[in-house]
Structure 1
Amino acid sequence: MPFPNATLPSDDPNWSEHMTATAPPPAGTAIEWTRPGLHLRFDTGADERPVHLVHWATGPGAPSVAAPSPIVDLSAAGEHRARHNQSLLLWGAGLRLRYTGHEADGDELRVHQRDPELGLEVTSVFRAAGPGLQIRQTVRNGAEDELVLLAVSSALIAVPEGAHDLLWGESEWLAEGRWHQRPLTDLLPNVNPEFHHRRNRGNVARTSHGSFSSGEFLPTGVLLTEGGPSLAWQVEASAGWHWEASQHEGTVTVGVYGPTDLYHQFTQRLAPGEAFTTVPAGCCVADGGRDAAFAALSDYRRAIREVRPVDARLPLVYNDFMNTLMAGPSTEKELPLIEAAAEAGAEYYCVDAGWYGTGNWWTDAGDWHEAPGHFTGGLVAVFDAIRAKGMRPGIWLEPEAVGANAKAARELPEEAFFQRHGRRVFETGHYQLDFRHPAARAHLDEAVDRLVEEFGIAFFKLDYNVNAGVGTDVDCDGPGAGLLGHTRAFRDWLSDAQRRHPGVLFENCGSGAMRMDYHLLSVAHLQSTSDQQDFRRYAPIAAAAPASVLPEQAGNWAYPDASMSIEETAFAMTAGVMGRLYLSGFLGGLGPERFALVREAVALHKDWRERIARSHPVWPLGLPGWDDDVIALQLEAGTESLLAVWSRGAAAEVALPGLRGRHVRQAYPVDLPVWAIRADGDVPVLRVPEGPAARIFTVQ
């Protein structure tokens, strides 16, 4: 239970000077800031405390999610810490910050503070984006001596202790997006701190490890509040990140961080006058439960995307890799696939890995020249065939990878590669390029520009297949800082490539979805949601994907095969329709009945793709469990929506109370048996047959 008025001794003998960090600040200057869907109030602390966020609501009359809390915390080398736990809260420099001014400029509020002891200056930037805030901190060394940063929070938000559930997502190769929801009291148990005359140390955290930003956990979390507004957040980093929910003085403080010394070997030295800016944190407050929180995150993600005109067309891509050529392209293999993809309705056709070097797709990565002897008439003949069928050509690259046998591994300078302790980072036959180095960027600039000019490439699938570890220690103070610098340089390179080639689309892929974050997705068109080849196991991945990535960016593979039954073919295609349909498979061998199901799914997706691009995800049966027999995803687009239901077990009846009073009609497939729907009062009850089977419904 909470003890909001308790005064407990700390583990720190000097606790008294720090204990009031999250207590209600004395009356100071109030900063009120209102934007559409946002109402924030800060207290400047009257020169006695750091600036506190004291109110955050969806509007002036709406309930606040926030309890008083400082807006930033940071640690520097040699600084005093006031806690004995894994939390990053309560360091000396952060507690000494004092208000020096603020200004609001349209959708951006900037709050300035200074630590008079160290002389460091912090500017907290709150940028309104849709219903949420993109928050970042810039720390400047205003002293005459060097300053060494170890951690800086991107965002800090406290909520009163109470009835909260925490939602988080776990991930791994082929099993992305496994979401969990548990009461916060299960994760932060009441240890009776009064009895022990100590403060709570409770802390629950999720942290990335290495260069797969979503390889273990997803950089997103939600704190649901029973009967009140909920808080959702995401870390916008392709480097190290960390988020935590920590007990402190009757509150739970959510801290969102990029790389840190404690978790990612991050160190940043600042000479006098130098500055460091954190990775952004995206935060939303939503009145309502889980689905309202993810709806707010969806609108926030749309607000921060840099959408180009070519993105807005949402074209349908066929890719020759998944369960098809698997990195073994040739002219003879490609031509029948091209014909069938065009007949199915694809608008782009991507030649995946294996087209370069000597044809070994793994060890030759980095030599982005056509493999000799693989393509009769040359690779240009394949791309001419794609255009002749009315599609635009695409190609696969892994821009940061250089295979052990590639010429680039020998010709590029040592400083262009990740290194640790004076040796190149070497991971399963790959070296990692460091995009901070001009030679690395020039190597890829030349490849992209040449491929666009030589072949008319209109789509690049950019992959990332290895975890390069904590980073590189070249030209930085710690490998975590090296990884952060590289990923920022890589995003800049990607933006520059798009400026040079505004008509070209770029996919973000990371061995499936091992690097699925909005640092990159804010500038990329498409995100491959998995490498999962078992269509039965793709259902929970596709259904959970909109919690992490916008539906219109969620590249869900649909790879029908002649070995599948009619029902299994519809099951496999359903995943693609409920996102950004990413088509693959030997379509020409399906036979008329199965191929008709493909064409029908493609037509349905094309009819709905613009509505999908403004939809919000809803999970009528809850976020999918990895082994659930029945899985459902609804994409709500105003007064109408698409509802997909997958069956992977025995026949069952499932009630859909969230669709109370609405009309549910089967939309796909039109020629397979209709799943029966009865009414229990005004609640639809769906009869789900034994699986594998799937249906898509329209809801009005």
Structure 2
Amino acid sequence: MSTMTEPHTLEWHAAPFALRVDVDDAGRPRLTRMLGDRAADVAIALPLVEIVTTTCSKRAGTRFDDTELGARLRYRSHRHRAEGERDVFEVDLADAETGLAATVTWSTVPGSEVVTVSTTVVNEHPTRRHELLFVSSVALGDARWDADDTTVHSAANTWLSEFRWQTLTYRERGGVDVAMRAHGGASTRSAQCIVGTGTWSTSENLPMGAFEAPGGGTLLWQLEANAGWSWRVAESPTRDGGALRLVLAGADALTHGWSRVLAPGESHAAPDATFAWSTSGLEPAVAALTAHRRRERAVYRTDRPVAVVYNDYMNTLMAEPTTDRLLPLIAAVGRVRADVFCVDAGWYSGEPGWWHTVGEWQESATRFPGGFREVFDAIRAAGMLPGLWLEPEAVGVRSPICEELPAEAFLQRGGVRLVEDGRHVLDFRHPAAVAHMDAVMDRLIADYGLRYVKFDANLNPTPGTDVGGLNPIEGLRRTAVAWLDWIDALHARHPDLIIENCASGGMRCDWQTLSHFALLATSDQQDESRVPPISANAPLVVPPEIAGVWSYPQAGMSPGAVHTTLVNSLLRRPILSGHLDRMDEKELALVATFVDVHRGLRDEIATAEPVWPTGLPGWDDPWVTWALCCASSTLVSIVHRFEETVAEQRIPLTRLRVSADAPVIVEQLFPPRPASWRIDGGDLVVRLDGPDAVVFRLQE
């Protein structure tokens, strides 16, 4: 409930969060408490919004806490209301001198243990324009986040090596003690900044992180931004030393070159930020955030009957499909009972160098002399839904579409269409761009019965677009929003269409994007021994049932390699590939067993909580384990990656949420070949000699 417990105190309780906003005698509000497990107020409270304009500055340096305008905003009003199933608390702020006002909204589904913060700035001045350079999504300071011993979780995210989480204290990350007391108690001027740029929103880092205190208290966040974002951690002095502050934001002038001019009456919304809180470490916070994500994307569960997708690309046809190559593959994949057969890149051109000619999305007569319908009919006859790869934002510089569409339908700078890797980029704000891709999709669905589409994005047009007289990065942000609007409209017109999100693998893993898709292609990694840490860490980013992971078994592969590539995706969303048409009966039977095992686990995976029984894996860890805690059992994947390493792994049963004091039933689910294991002193001990992998179910 929301009450005025004191003349200048606002409170809102949404367990485990308990917000307190203290308003001083001058009307300045400060967020003095966010978490409900602590009675004492924070010692380094911040304004509810941090704003920088061309006339209202920040402090020197890279920090964006305690900005001039943030400190000047005054309390105006507040509201507590219900909005559907959500409980909502809003605070209105205003600055009389500039005429800028802001509304900060906290919302939650009661019992979810997750809260989302939204911030909107509006120019209420009757005549004056304001150029925004920075607007925070949220700014937090809390004395519990001691600078000496607070762990900061963050993740690097690059092509072929996604989801590389680091667990380091603020000091280990380079935040040195600069003796702030000797400088009059001044805060440091620098911040540790994690950044995403362009529409490849996660091509360098993830817009996620967490603070974890030594006692286990953990605040996990995700910033929901698909075209430029940052989160900053900085130290400020307290009576007892130094504590951390956190500022989350979308694109800004310092980091991205962004700005936005607000005319009178115009507003700007910062990206939403969502938080989960746990008193006992990272995993419970991830569980709460996973439940929140499942609830937020429920409307897009058009793929519910679909368990396994086969895609002809990875380590198989590699963008060279033809009728002759596809028909034997389709027959073999049908024998293992996959649900979808997706024809990947290359189907639209018979010439080399097609990268620069894409855009029409018509099948190649050279590759498919009997027509595309022959392939799609074969897919349906084999009991599968037909799918296709497209890159809808890209138009090659040699494509006839360049002449058919107006120049304004593409991203531009100074009236010149941007070129990235030999291609232009469609601007889905323009009706001609929308009409073109609507016609493409409607034709493919009507002519071929297309039921699955993989939308790839191998472009990151970081120069942005100044069409409409906008700052180029603001223009890029709006095109990214328009792209998602087009996806939603496509869903509405074709509700049975299943849409996969890919961007050279996991280069668009922000939740603003992911919440609009049926599944995510987590990586393009082609070495099965490098996939385990990617697969293991994927549920930090998406629910496990939409984390698409490649498995590409091949004829003649060693048993350990086949087991590894299949186990990589068994507890995720399998994207199967490989030359199944070249396999013997025994090899094909193993793949069919894998498909059946996954299909039998699908409902459990869709409601399970992810855990990491030996910790979040590092990129070169020889053993990688990941688990899903289901209603009455725990599923655990164990991979031994390197020949020369120790061949035994010990996993505490308590980390698998199984009591070490009770009899434990261990069932090997995959592969059929028995692995060596034992229960020893409260541990599950698994032996895998050489590279190999296994999946168990544990029950008490």
Establish whether TM, by shorter chain, passes 0.5: yes
Residues 1:496 and 2:489 aligned together? yes
Supply the RMSD in Å over aligned alpha carbons.
Answer: 2.2
CA contact (8 A) 1:611 1:637 kept: yes
Residues 1:98 and 2:74 aligned together? yes
Residues 1:288 and 2:280 aligned together? yes
CA deviations over 1:489-513 (Å, ceiling 9, x no partner): 0011100100000111111100011
CA deviations over 1:84-122 (Å, ceiling 9, x no partner): 221122222211111111222222222111111111110
| Cα distance change, pair 66–320 in 1 and its aligned pair in 2 (3 A) | farther
Q: 2:210 aligns with which of 192, 205, 222?
A: 222
CA contact (8 A) 1:132 1:284 kept: yes
2:108 alignment partner in structure 1:
128
1:247 alignment partner in structure 2:
235
CA deviations over 1:377-436 (Å, ceiling 9, x no partner): 210111111111111111111111111221112222111111224322211111111112
Which secondary structure does the structure 1 equivalent of 2:203 belong to?
A: coil
Which of 49-58 and 206-215 deviates more?
A: 49-58
Q: 2:123 aligns with which of 133, 141, 155?
A: 141
Which of 499-508 and 302-311 deviates more?
A: 302-311
Trace 1:297-696 onto structure 2 (pairs within 5 A). 297-358=289-350, 361-649=354-642, 650-657=645-652, 658-659=655-656, 661=659, 663=664, 665-680=666-681, 683-696=682-695
CA deviations over 1:449-470 (Å, ceiling 9, x no partner): 1111111111110000122114
CA distance in 1, matches of 2:534, 2:349: 33
| Cα distance change, pair 438–306 in 1 and its aligned pair in 2 (3 A) | farther
CA contact (8 A) 1:42 1:51 kept: no
CA contact (8 A) 2:514 2:520 kept: yes
CA contact (8 A) 2:307 2:598 kept: no
CA distance in 1, matches of 2:203, 2:510: 11
Shift of 1:266: 0.9
Which secondary structure does the structure 1 equivalent of 2:530 belong to?
A: helix
Q: 2:62 aligns with which of 61, 75, 86?
A: 86
CA contact (8 A) 1:559 1:584 kept: yes
CA distance in 1, matches of 2:675, 2:637: 14
Shift of 1:65: 8.9
Shift of 1:597: 1.9
User: What runs of 5+ residues in structure 1 fail to find an aligned partner?
Assistant: 1-25
- 2:191 is matched by which residue type in structure 1? N
CA contact (8 A) 2:389 2:456 kept: yes
Residues 1:117 and 2:97 aligned together? yes
Shift of 1:277: 0.9
1:195 alignment partner in structure 2:
182
1:72 alignment partner in structure 2:
49
CA distance in 1, matches of 2:671, 2:483: 45
CA distance in 2, matches of 1:419, 1:28: 53
Shift of 1:362: 1.7
CA contact (8 A) 1:44 1:99 kept: no
Shift of 1:200: 2.5
CA contact (8 A) 1:53 1:157 kept: yes
CA distance in 2, matches of 1:241, 1:693: 39
User: What runs of 5+ residues in structure 2 fail to find an aligned partner?
Assistant: none
CA contact (8 A) 1:58 1:286 kept: no
Shift of 1:198: 5.2
CA distance in 1, matches of 2:524, 2:213: 35
Shift of 1:38: 3.9
- 1:189 is matched by which residue type in structure 2? V
2:11 alignment partner in structure 1:
32
Which secondary structure does the structure 2 equivalent of 1:177 belong to?
A: strand
Identity of aligned residues (%): 36
Which secondary structure does the structure 1 equivalent of 2:362 belong to?
A: coil
- 1:383 is matched by which residue type in structure 2? F
- 1:652 is matched by which residue type in structure 2? A
Which secondary structure does the structure 1 equivalent of 2:438 belong to?
A: helix
Runs of 4+ deviating beyond 4 Å: 61-67, 357-361
1:11 alignment partner in structure 2:
none
CA contact (8 A) 1:329 1:354 kept: yes
CA deviations over 1:108-154 (Å, ceiling 9, x no partner): 22211111111111011222153212222111100020111111111
TM-score, length of structure 1 as denominator length:
0.92
1:21 alignment partner in structure 2:
none
2:20 alignment partner in structure 1:
42
CA distance in 2, matches of 1:96, 1:139: 14
CA distance in 1, matches of 2:365, 2:25: 71
| Cα distance change, pair 166–300 in 1 and its aligned pair in 2 (3 A) | same
Which of 248-257 and 533-542 deviates more?
A: 248-257
- 2:50 is matched by which residue type in structure 1? D
Which secondary structure does the structure 2 equivalent of 1:673 belong to?
A: coil
